[in-house]
Amino acid sequence: MGGISIWQILIILAIVLLLFGTKRLRNIGGDLGEAIKGFKQSMQSASQTDKSETDDSAESKKNPSDS
């Protein structure tokens, strides 16, 4: 009763396709994919930076004479 059936989803997709066209939808999909790719790369680089910072701080706690 409250869910969306497959037919309703297909009708919505057909209307979106008619409104925007295939070329524009393809461009939107490509832009969205690039944005997700950039986000993943920034998350990985932030994770690596955090890991190297925690390794450096742990090492400096072991050897306080190095500072």
Secondary structure of the chain as H, E, C letters: CCCCCHHHHHHHHHHHHHHHCHHHHHHHHHHHHHHHHHHHHHHHHHHHHHHHHHHHHHHHHHCHHHC
| pLDDT at site 30 | 94
| pLDDT at site 53 | 73
Task: Tell me whether residue 37 is in a domain.
Answer: yes
Angle between helices 6-20 and 22-62 (to 10 degrees): 100
Task: Tell me whether residue 29 is in a domain.
Answer: yes
The tally of domains found in the chain comes to: 1
Instruction: Give the residue from 4, 28, 1, 5 showing the smallest Cα distance to 16.
Output: 28
Q: Which pTM value belongs to this model?
A: 0.53
| pLDDT at site 50 | 77
* Gap between the Cα atoms of 20 and 8, Å rounded: 18
Which residue range(s) make up the domain with 40? 21-47
pLDDT < 50 positions in the chain: 67
